Amino acid sequence: MAATLIDKIWDSHVVGRRPDGRDLVYIDRHVLHELHAPHAFSKLAKAGRAVRRPDLTFSAVDHTPRSTPGRTDRNAKGEVIELLAAMREGSKRNGIRVFDLADAEHGISHVVAPEIGMVLPGSTHAVPDSHACTVGGLGALAFGCGTTELEHILATQCIAMEKPKRMRVRLEGKLGPWAAAKDIALKIISEIGVAGGRGHFIEFAGGAVRALPIEGRLTLCNLAIEMGSRTGLIAPDDATFQWIAGRPWAPQGAMWDRALATWRALSSDSDASFDRDIVIDCESLEPQITWGTDPGQAFGISGRAPDPASAPAERRAALERALDYMGIAPGEAIEGLAVHRVFIGSCTNARLPDLEIAADIARGRKVAEGVNALVVPGSAKVKRDAEAKGLDRVFRDAGFIWGEAACSMCAGANGDHGERGERILSTTNRNFENRQGPGARTHLVGPALAAAAAVTGKITDVRKLMGGAA
């Protein structure tokens, strides 16, 4: 029978059916982080349960450490960050390897897992973090989960779940200059809404997806959760296989050939049917930016804020609140608004190509007076690679701060945050009220618009700054 890629991976990972009717789906790789691991470890210990597969489980240190140059594992008071200490202790007790601050594999878990070859096409992956879906860019089925589900996976290496519906989002057309994966994602969310994919897993397909570099596919899948979908993925192709080949944990030699033969079957059958199938035209797509307080409140850089007065009555209050929070007048052009902070980082947009785009714009320019601009690589490897290419110099010469890999200002859990009323251009994934600090105003953008704002001090159409061609 014709099957979608989602069905193929799901079905091949079903261990059995629970008495309550849910499937038990096997998890191939499980990565923890310090915000949730400590609670799960202590609940597990209390119940006297062991970790079933410590060899398939890893602990990442990403949410809490400072990203300032020369940082340690201490907080501002000089104490070891308590969540970090608790995760280290629990990991040690359970025989789980920690990718700690000084390790070559350190970084944001969603950046590290693909780059070391931990996540492979056709595999399942779980992280107690909603952006686990990032690694869907390699053709893996990834689940963000809560703390109790995390504990369940630790004890059983399975997740209990009912198979969701399948949705396909086909993206066609050639993007306009300076538009990339982030812009496609924001475009999708603005069309289908932040709950548009709820109850579904999404497969991204179409010419515009095929044309994306692997890092861009990771960016696109990263934002599946902002579409309301628990996960998103892209069928792997030769570009994927090439990208994975030779990574430290990837199969090699005869094992690689064997794996590759099975990976080649990882696509939706041409006659497979989806519960929902939509097409979005990305022809000449311009760089996108959010104007409001959810990722769906986005439009092209040439856009103007909506006018609540002309919106349907039931939407009016929400629009007014969003504009008020963001300090934007109804109908106001987004271009030209003064910017106080720029953050280039996070599991969305802090891989090497993201930093290269930003560096192209920063090169030979200066961060505008009064702008605080921070670049935080997504992993220690991205940082090493960027430094080998001299990107750190480009950024530092321009007046950016060049940080140490971590989530940093994405959620502010490490203490990096914006101030009340500050306008921030951020390459992250959530522009919710207060996300980047109480009262801070976040606009989500790709690295190009972020860098352009940093060097001009205002929201700027990068195409005008750099000329039309990317």
Binding residues for ligand SF4, rule: CB under 6 A, are: 62-63, 108, 110, 129, 131, 346-347, 407, 410-411, 428-429
Answer for which of 65, 114, 117, 232 binds other proteins (CB under 8 A) is: 117
Give, for 408, the enclosing helix (H) or strand (E).
none
Distance CA 217, CA 141 (A): 14
Least gap, CB of 344 to other proteins (angstroms): 20
Q: Which residue from 395, 347, 348 is spatially nearest to 374, judged by alpha carbons? A: 395
412 near other proteins (CB under 8 A): yes
Distance CA 387, CA 400 (A): 14
Could you tell which of other proteins, ligand SF4, none binds residue 402, using a CB distance below 5 to 8 A set by kind?
none
Phi, psi of 14 (to 5 degrees): -75, 120
Least gap, CB of 413 to other proteins (angstroms): 5
Q: If DSSP codes are grouped into helix, strand and coil, which group holds residue 350?
A: coil
Could you tell which of other proteins, ligand SF4, none binds residue 442, using a CB distance below 5 to 8 A set by kind?
none
Answer for which of 411, 425, 449, 455 binds other proteins (CB under 8 A) is: 411
Distance CA 348, CA 24 (A): 29
Residues 349-408 that bind other proteins (CB under 8 A): none
Residues 263-302 that bind other proteins (CB under 8 A): 294
The token pair that represents 89 in the structure block: 């202790």
Distance CA 40, CA 467 (A): 51
Answer for which of 2, 11, 45, 55 binds other proteins (CB under 8 A) is: 55
Could you tell which of other proteins, ligand SF4, none binds residue 433, using a CB distance below 5 to 8 A set by kind?
other proteins
User: Pseudo-torsion of CA 127, 3, 201, 192, nearest 10°?
Assistant: 150
Answer for which of 331, 336, 364, 438 binds other proteins (CB under 8 A) is: 438
Least gap, CB of 204 to ligand SF4 (angstroms): 19
Could you tell which of ligand SF4, other proteins, none binds residue 259, using a CB distance below 5 to 8 A set by kind?
other proteins
**DSSP letter string, 10-52:** HHHTEEEE-TTS-EEEE-SEEEEETTTHHHHHHHHHHTT---S
Could you tell which of other proteins, ligand SF4, none binds residue 447, using a CB distance below 5 to 8 A set by kind?
none
Find the largest Cα–Cα distance for the chain.
Answer: 65
> Could you tell me which stretch among 144-152, 206-214, 332-340, 444-452 binds other proteins (CB under 8 A)?
144-152
Q: If DSSP codes are grouped into helix, strand and coil, which group holds residue 149?
A: helix
Residues 65-94 that bind other proteins (CB under 8 A): 75, 82-83, 86
> Could you tell me which stretch among 209-217, 254-262, 344-352, 371-379 binds other proteins (CB under 8 A)?
254-262
Could you tell which of ligand SF4, other proteins, none binds residue 410, using a CB distance below 5 to 8 A set by kind?
ligand SF4
311 near other proteins (CB under 8 A): no
Answer for which of 3, 7, 24, 281 binds other proteins (CB under 8 A) is: 24
Interface mask toward other proteins for 164-193; x: CB under 8 A: x-----------------------------
Name 363's Cβ contacts closer than 8 Å, sequence gap at least 6.
394, 398
Phi, psi of 442 (to 5 degrees): -100, 130
Q: Taking a C-beta distance cutoff of 8 angstroms, is the pair 358, 449 a contact?
A: no
Which is nearer to other proteins, 130 or 288 (by Cβ)? Answer: 130
Least gap, CB of 54 to ligand SF4 (angstroms): 22
Which is nearer to ligand SF4, 110 or 152 (by Cβ)? Answer: 110
Could you tell which of ligand SF4, other proteins, none binds residue 300, using a CB distance below 5 to 8 A set by kind?
none
Least gap, CB of 126 to ligand SF4 (angstroms): 14
259 near other proteins (CB under 8 A): yes
242 near other proteins (CB under 8 A): no
- 384-to-11, 97, 105, 107, 378 alpha-carbon distances in Å: 39, 22, 11, 12, 11
Q: If DSSP codes are grouped into helix, strand and coil, which group holds residue 124?
A: strand
Q: Which residue from 117, 157, 118, 114 is spatially nearest to 136, judged by alpha carbons? A: 114
Residues 414-433 that bind other proteins (CB under 8 A): 415, 417, 420, 430, 432-433
Least gap, CB of 222 to ligand SF4 (angstroms): 8
Start-end of H helices in 127-173: 147-156
Could you tell which of ligand SF4, other proteins, none binds residue 248, using a CB distance below 5 to 8 A set by kind?
other proteins
Q: Which residue from 274, 238, 272 is spatially nearest to 121, judged by alpha carbons? A: 238
Distance of CA 113 to the CA centre of its chain: 12
Which is nearer to other proteins, 427 or 436 (by Cβ)? Answer: 436
